[in-house]
Amino acid sequence: MIPEIGHFSLILALLLALVQSVLPLIGAQTGNARFLAVARPAARAQFLFVALAYACLVTAFLQNDFSVRNVALNSFSQLPAVYRFTASWGSHEGSMLLWTLILAFWTMAVSVLSRRLPEDMVARVIGIMGLVSVGFLAFLLFTSNPFDRLLPAPPDGRDLNPLLQDPGMVLHPPMLYMGYVGFSVAFAFAIAALLSGKLDAAWARWSRPWTTVAWTFLTMGIALGSWWAYIELGWGGWWFWDPTENASFMPWLAGTALIHSLAVTEKRGVFKSWTVLLAITAFSLSLLGTFLVRSGVLSSVHAFATDPARGAFILGFLAVVIGGSLLLYALRAPTMLGSARFSAFSRESLLLVNNVVLVAALGSVLLGTLYPLFLDALGMGKISVGAPYFNAVFVPLMVPVLFLMAVGPLTRWKGASLPDMVVRLRLAFAVAVVAAVAVPLAAGEFKPWVALGMGLAVWIAYGVALGFTERLKRGGSPWTLPRGFWGMQLAHLSMAIGIVGMALVSGYEGERNVKMAVGDTAQLAGYTFTFKGAEAFEGPNYHAARGHLVVKSESGSEFSLRPEKRLYNAGGMPMTEAGIDYGVLRDVYVAMGEEIEPQVWTIRLFYKPFIGWLWFAAALMSLGGALAASDRRYRIALKDKAAA
Amino acid sequence: MNKRLIPLIVFLVLAVFFAIGLTKNPREVPSPFIGKPAPAFRLPEVGNPAKTFGPEEMRGQVWMLNVWAPWCVSCRQEHGVLMQLQAQGVKLVGLNWKDKDREAAALLARLGSPYLSTVEDLDGRVGIDYGVTGTPETFVVDKGGIIRFKQTGPITEEVWKEKLEPMLKELAR
């Protein structure tokens, strides 16, 4: 009964989404006020029904209703309740329903927080988001119904993929989707502006907070995914350039470029066409990522059950949404020219360079991700493109972006003096060079990439400090500075912190794969690891061996690590659960391999200097995004709305 | 040419590649066993351990080895299709893979067996010989005992109509 209610709610949601898109868009074009007024109620009703459908799916999972195919394939009676809940988005069907739910949520949010906007603009934005909803709801109902029955019902389920049974997985997908789908708001604003021909500073101001919020969620989602991979995969890595990681990283790069470009468009009224194109690109890449992961055209660790009918549907949908948007862009964008002028060295020009290089870096990731597909399509064989390509191409492209990151915020709009900037930053440059030389030497081995990373990190951090001191010299206290300023500076500072982490962990990490019997010791990076044995224990839906290692540092302090090797009852799939001692300056990381003989194990030992700085940087960056999005200017706009 | 058309053109080129990519499967690495003799084994039958079966008994016939397990949901899904194939006279042999709970016999008694014979590969050794990575997988073996095709994942109506049926007809000639 409950699954049928969910199915029926989805059908109603599809009909509402059709109403929500067709009537307001016609109304905006013809000036029909009654059609315009449909937008908000339709969007809210659509959200209610999608939410009801999702609640039905969650209920089916929590009640172990294995007569629902989706539940039978992705859950298990012994699965703990929290993972039965997260299993609701662990499957293809469930994750697409989550996508749709979040899209409906963002649309609902626009309908509530848009009272100060012109009615025709709101109607267009909601209408366009409705069109996207129509596509996803139709996709669910026609190719991926999460409520399909499996009769006769199997006695038990096949279990959720053990990789997904981790606390990191509880938050990672919803965060990621909040980011992915959040770009639909900026996209809808851009298309609405193209349709109406009103592409002005007001449009950029409305788009900015939405874009920043979406970007913040995406940042958190990507960081959680990386943290999950670090803990759960047992390889000690934090980024693999896997196609699915790239699928989330490309919208992030486009979104980062968009945030900067929107700032210029709002403040100076230039780069309008470019900003619109970036808004279309960011959301298109979100859709593209969905296509790449769902259609199975690329093989990836995130492989879901693949089905050519689904791939064909999404591709057709992409062609309509992206192709249609870009056609509209080609037809309408040329009429809008920026009027303001700026000189070759100004904040505008630096932000333009930032944008061009970010987009080039994005292109390099796109090329690397799709290259295997191109070759396969041309019949030139099956290959995979790995980390060496991305590190060789992407990392150097980011160097100019990072270099300009310190300069841009210190440069004035319209035009600035280059000699004056050299004077302001010469001390920063000297300090950065000293750090670039000193840190690798202090670490014991000089590595050029570490030197470059440390130099850039200090350079950016100095730029942030200079930004604060110069701003405060003009009066005010840190507490009166706008949140937008704080947000930008914290986000930039977090890049410096993240670079320190990336450079040092890549340059100086250590790894050993050893065979250990009880009492054996092994050395790594000044730590002595002693294997005390492994004991068997029973988890809720798995049995496991838990190893016990005592680690002694050079200074004599001691701590214990308890890595686990789990065997899940339903699928018999083995999983590692790393034992990690977290620290500010290093993580010590141990993962169990195989039991070769009784109580003799292969064990992987890792020494990970400064890796914690990566997660801290991501948290700080998200805080920066949240501060920027809640800047007073937008809150005033909100208060006015509440008063109206 | 209008330079604002460039993004659209780039996207259209990508879309064409995606469309071609959809017709290919990046994970479909050709099985190294195709064109090789089906590895020999002799295993006890499910529910009747006194009787054993080996692939050499099928010499001179075209048959399919279906790797399945009672705990496998997609095997349950293909069971109906297999029953229809059996009714059409298709010769199926089941390899009951890693059935630690010994549920296969009861299950086949309840749902009906599409197999001429189902053998018990309790520890998965024979599965290793055949390069089995998961269930269900199905191997098509010709009259000379050579593996000609491997289907990974369930046999659906489409898979049967489009791939297996033409192939079996061809091999039977």
Q: Which amino acid is at A160?
A: L
User: Does residue B102 have a pLDDT over 90?
Assistant: no
Average of pLDDT values for B62-87? 85
Topology (CATH level 3) of domain B32-172:
Glutaredoxin (3.40.30)
Instruction: Give the SS3 label for residue A595.
Output: strand
Residues of B at the A interface, defined by Cβ within 8 angstroms: 2, 4-5, 7-8, 11-12, 14-15, 17-27, 29, 71-73, 76-77, 98
Contact A315 B11 (CB under 8 A): no
> What pLDDT, on a 0 to 100 scale, did the predictor assign at position B24?
67
* Peptide linkage before B30 cis (omega within 30 of 0): no
DSSP states along B81-139: HHHHHHHTT--EEEEEES-TT--HHHHHHHH----SEEEEETTSHHHHHTT--SSSEEE
Give me the pLDDT at residue A194, please: 92
Structure token digits, residue A370: 């799709």
pLDDT at A443: 86
Distance from CA of A414 to the nearest CA of B (A): 26
pLDDT score for B36 = 82
Angle, CA of A557, A559 and A563, to the nearest 5°: 155
A374 vs B: CB within 8 A: yes
Q: Is A320 on the interface with B (CB under 8 A)?
A: no
Among A314, A310, A407, which residue's Cα sits nearest to residue A353? A407
A307, A322, A359, best to mutate vs chain B, most B CBs in 10 Å:
A322
Interchain contact, B7 vs A329, CB within 8 Å:
yes
* Contact flag B21-A376 (C-beta cutoff 8 Å): yes
Q: Which residues of B touch A333 (CB under 8 A)?
A: 4
Question: Long-range contacts of range B7-12, CB-CB < 8 Å, 24 or more positions apart?
Answer: B7/A277, B7/A280, B7/A281, B7/A326, B7/A329, B7/A330, B8/A323, B8/A326, B8/A327, B8/A329, B8/A330, B11/A284, B11/A322, B11/A323, B11/A326, B12/A323
Residue for token digits 């709970």? B101
Q: Which residues contact A109 (CB under 8 A, 6 or more apart)?
A: none
Q: Tokens 């000189």 belong to which residue? A: A343
Listing DSSP states for A120-131 in one string gives HHHHHHHHHHHH
For residue B106, the model assigns a pLDDT of: 84
Q: Give the integer Cα–Cα distance in Å for B117 and B95.
A: 9
pLDDT at B132 over 90: no
At A319, list the tokens. Answer: 């062609």
List, for chain A, all residue ranges whose pLDDT scores fall below the cut of 50. Answer: 300-305, 641-644
pLDDT at B126: 85
Tell me the HSE value of A127 on the side-chain side, using a 13 A CA sphere: 24
To probe the interface with B, which of A67, A156, A272, A297 has the most B CB atoms within 10 Å?
A297
CB contacts, 8 Å: B17 with chain A: 370, 373-374, 377
Residue A166 is given by DSSP the state S
Give the Cα separation of B49 and B66 in Å (integer).
19
Give me the pLDDT at residue A305, please. Answer: 44
Tens-place pLDDT, residues B12-31: 999 888 888 777 665 555 56
ipTM of the assembly? 0.84
**CB nearest to A297's CB, from B21, B73, B98:** B21
pLDDT tens digits, one per residue of B121-131: 887 788 888 87
When scoring A160, A328, A376 by the number of chain B Cβ atoms within 10 A, the one with the most, hence best to mutate, is A376
pLDDT, position A54: 96
| The amino acid at A618 | A
pLDDT at B3 over 50: yes
A420: left (phi over 0), alpha (psi -120 to 50) or beta: alpha
Distance of alpha carbon A226 from its chain centroid, rounded? 10
